[in-house]
Amino acid sequence: MNKWIALALLAAPAIASAKLPALTEEQKAAAAAAKDKQVWSDKVSAYKLCLAQDRVAALYIKQKPAAAKPSATLPACTDPGPYVAQVAAAKDVGVADAKPVPEAGAKK
């Protein structure tokens, strides 16, 4: 029984060090798009947190009129706006996509 446990412990690093295949262009683009969407989602979360903190601070100041008002003004919450994909799929421009260049002196 101990031999099997020792064998399993020796084989575990070899199995764990197996390499995954390289990512395809589509997988890289999908990962970049997911990362871009996550960054936007983080900005939206920070915006919502900022709004909630502003509401709590306003309520506190309203309930405690004797409370010292903050001397420094904080920056306003910035709305990140709707999601717009920043990562565009790179399209290879081939010969079929290229527009012909008019020759010098050619009439239209």
- Asked if residue 38 lies in contact with residue 31, where contact means CB atoms within 8 angstroms, the answer is no
Q: What is the mean pLDDT of residues 32-48?
A: 95
- Residue 82 falls within a domain, yes or no? no
Domain assignment present for 39: yes
Q: How far apart are CA 11 and CA 14, in angstroms?
A: 5
In a domain, 45, yes or no: yes
Number of domains in the chain: 1
Map tokens 């390289």 to a residue.
Answer: 22
Residue 95, domain member (yes or no): no
With 80 as the cut, is the pLDDT of residue 64 above it? yes
Local confidence band at 89 (pLDDT 50, 70, 90 cut-offs): very low
Q: Is 14 helix (H, G, I), strand (E, B) or coil?
A: helix
* Residue of higher predicted confidence among 33 and 14: 33
Q: Which domain holds residue 32?
A: 23-67
Q: Is the pLDDT of residue 88 over 70?
A: no
- 44 by Cβ neighbours in 10 Å (0-12 / 13-18 / 19+) ranks as middle
Q: Identify whether the C-beta of residue 39 lies closer than 8 Å to the C-beta of residue 16.
A: no
